[in-house]
Amino acid sequence: MDIFRGRITSTGFSTGHRIVIGDWSESILGNFTNIMWAKPDGTRVLLSPSATHADYVSRIYTFEEVRIVDFEVKRGKREIFVSADALSIRIRWGISLILPLWRPLWFIASFEAFFGKLIFGTITHGKTRDGRREWYSVRSISRVLDAEGSLNGVSIGSKAKFQNTTCFGFSEPPSMPASVSLKSYIE
């Protein structure tokens, strides 16, 4: 079982860009940050910190482009700034709704899957691109308060709900811009 522990922060932008930042404090790949980026034309891009990471992630999620780039990451109490290649993103979130304990995988695949889909439009259990099983065990969720981003120094607009899916894998981030602390289990 591969376990990733960290935070996923996601938002759409008014220009149609959709950003998912994975900021992982513990994993089989060590401590890392990556960006899954859906461009307005639907092209899915993985910005990855290493070839090992890019190989692992592109086997379980779908991308048209995979780029290995240098990352600059700054974290605050309720914000993250990431600069990777020509993309720079700053996201700030509010107070977290905390779930008091980690739930067993069977609970995530049943009860939590139902409520995650109903309330947030997300799927908490499913099959990866390479046929493995994955569970998302959410510990807290926060609403994104504001976000700014630029591509090659040009603004990509203001924070917006996801109008279109990102289609990286079996699940989508919440349509509302959110920052979620969680564990991802992959078997």
**Phi, psi angles (nearest 5°) of residue 71:** -115, 140
Q: pLDDT digit string (tens) for 1-10?
A: 999 999 999 9
Q: How many domains does the chain have?
A: 1
Q: What is the value of pTM for the model shown?
A: 0.94
Q: Identify each DSSP E strand in 14-68 by its residue range.
A: 18-26, 32-38, 44-48, 65-68
Residue with tokens 């889909």: 117
Q: Distance of CA 94 to CAs 30, 132, 145, Å?
A: 27, 34, 6
Q: pLDDT digit string (tens) for 96-123?
A: 999 888 999 999 999 888 888 888 878 8
Domain with 49, as residue range(s), is: 2-186
Is pLDDT at 164 greater than 70 in this prediction?
A: no
